[in-house]
Each structure stands twice: as C-alpha cells, then as structure tokens.
C-alpha cells in the first residue's frame, strides 16, 4: 500500500516539476518572472522530502497483515464477513501524530 501511495505522490509531483520547467522556459523567453535556480532546487528538494515523509507517515499508521482481522473483530465486528472475502486489504489507523501532521503540518 505504501508503494502505491509513493507512486501516486511521485506522479503528481512529476507533473508539478514539469510545470515548473515549462514556467521557467516561458519566463526565460519573455525575460519576466524567472525564478532563481536556487528556488527551483529548493522546491524539488522539498517535494522529494514530502514524498518520503508521507510514505513514512502511512507506513507508521498501517497495521500488519496479521493484525487486520483482530482489529476488525475488536472495533467493527459487523463487517467481518465482508472483509473475510477480500484477498488483500490494509487498515491504516490515524493516531494523534498523524492528525497533527495532516492538519497542522507537523508538531507535537
């Protein structure tokens, strides 16, 4: 699941990188609104770190495969029959740290 999330985020960030490069090409032609190369490098670094951070955050909150059914039996016993028919599923439980990162951008 974390690999899928990483691929989705990487795809979106690749589109952003392409937009930045297109913007830089047009702005150099028009000689207006050009971003410094250091800012472009900073943006690329921030986006790369963001991808890594989000994948680590989801990995931290996903339950192990053997814990999924126990979690369902404890918290949602009415859905056990539906989940038993699924060959593969993942449960990610949002804890306080996850909610702080999502809402506030980090911090304790």
Lowest-confidence pick of 16-25, 56-65, 76-85:
56-65
**pTM for the complete prediction?**
0.64
* C-alpha–C-alpha distance, residues 42 and 100, integer Å: 24
**Structural domain of 17:** 2-104
The CA-atom distances, in angstroms, between 77 and each of 73, 80, 82 are 5, 5, 10
Residue 51 pLDDT: 82
Q: How many domains does the chain have?
A: 1
Model pLDDT for residues 14-48, shown as the tens digit of each residue: 999 899 999 999 999 998 888 898 998 998 898 88
Calculate the average pLDDT of the chain: 87
Instruction: Give the number of other Cβ atoms within 10 Å of residue 107's Cβ.
Output: 8
Residue 107 predicted with pLDDT over 70: no
Q: What is the mean pLDDT of residues 60-74?
A: 89
Beta bridge partners of 62: 92
């Amino acid at each position: 699941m974390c690999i899928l999330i990483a691929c989705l985020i990487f795809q979106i960030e690749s589109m952003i990188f392409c937009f930045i490069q297109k913007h830089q090409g047009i702005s150099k032609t028009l000689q207006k609104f050009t971003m410094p190369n250091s800012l472009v490098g900073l943006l690329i670094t921030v986006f790369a770190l963001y991808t890594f951070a989000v994948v680590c955050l989801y990995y931290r909150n996903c339950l192990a495969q053997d814990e999924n059914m126990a979690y369902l039996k404890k918290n949602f016993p009415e859905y056990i029959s539906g989940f038993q028919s699924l060959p593969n599923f993942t449960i990610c439980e949002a804890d306080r740290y996850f909610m702080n990162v999502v809402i506030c951008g980090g911090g304790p």
